[in-house]
């Protein structure tokens, strides 16, 4: 299948937007992108090809970027970080995957708490020291990408949120879009992203 960037010009698309949201996915990043070992997992190399070119251009333009789950992992890898292919196989880490045998409501239900880093971007948005989040991932951050800082961690030490100082860039490992209207601590993330999109100082330059 022809790649996305072969069919569309990313710069032309980015000239039309004020920011980018990177959603999660059932697929995983191919391990060769972060020098990881191959494991049994669902892959989407077409997305891999498109998204890393996209992230580079978004960061160059200093556009607001909100990355969720796989999006967080993509952001980390794009900046030279690495991933655990299967967090649940790392000694001392818990199983962050969802139980696919239960209804979706339960899969996206609260899974564990996270500790929010005081004084960080995420803390400023949610106004809380901890959050209860869902968890539906096998891959997870191992080494942090360049220019990123940790914004939250799970109780087992797994990185759950990152930001990039100097730019409106936020990545979270959970899925705040799930029933966000019922969870004010998730809704405020999208409200903050929306405010960044409306800020004329953060709009894409015409290049």
Q: Given the residues 69, 96, 151, 160, select the one marked as catalytic.
A: 69
**Please, are residues 79 and 146 in contact by the beta-carbon 8 Å criterion?**
yes
Mean pLDDT of the chain: 90
The residue extents of the domains of the chain are 4-200
**Please, are residues 107 and 98 in contact by the beta-carbon 8 Å criterion?**
yes
- Determine the CATH number of domain 4-200: 3.40.50.880
Q: Given the residues 84, 96, 137, 175, select the one marked as catalytic.
A: 175
Active site residue 69: yes
pTM value is 0.90
Work out whether strand 169-172 and strand 65-68 pair parallel, antiparallel, or are unpaired.
parallel
Active site residue 155: no
pLDDT tens-digit series, residues 117-157? 999 999 999 999 999 999 999 999 999 999 999 999 999 99
pLDDT tens-digit series, residues 67-108? 999 999 999 999 999 999 899 999 999 999 999 999 999 999
Higher pLDDT, 153 or 29: 153
Q: Given the residues 115, 142, 177, 185, select the one marked as catalytic.
A: 177
Residues 6+ apart with CB under 8 A from 184: none
């Amino acid at each position: 299948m022809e790649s996305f960037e072969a069919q569309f010009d990313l710069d032309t698309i980015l000239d039309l937007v004020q920011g980018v949201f990177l959603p999660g996915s059932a697929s995983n990043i191919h391990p060769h992108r972060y020098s990881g070992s191959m494991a049994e997992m669902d892959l989407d190399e077409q997305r891999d090809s498109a998204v890393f070119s996209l992230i580079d251009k978004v960061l160059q333009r200093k556009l607001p970027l909100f990355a969720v789950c796989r999006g967080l992992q993509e952001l980390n890898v794009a900046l030279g970080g690495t991933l655990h292919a299967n967090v649940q196989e790392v000694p001392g880490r818990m199983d962050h995957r969802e139980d696919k045998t239960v209804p979706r409501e339960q899969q996206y239900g609260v899974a564990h708490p996270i500790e929010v880093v005081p004084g960080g971007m995420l803390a400023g948005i949610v106004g809380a020291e901890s959050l209860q989040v869902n968890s539906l991932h096998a891959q997870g951050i191992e080494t942090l990408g360049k220019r990123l800082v940790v914004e939250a961690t799970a109780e087992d030490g797994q990185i759950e949120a990152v930001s990039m100082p100097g730019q409106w860039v936020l990545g979270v490992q959970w899925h705040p879009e799930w029933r966000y209207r019922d969870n004010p601590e998730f809704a405020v993330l999208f409200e903050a992203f929306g405010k960044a999109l409306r800020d004329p100082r953060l709009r894409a330059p015409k290049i």
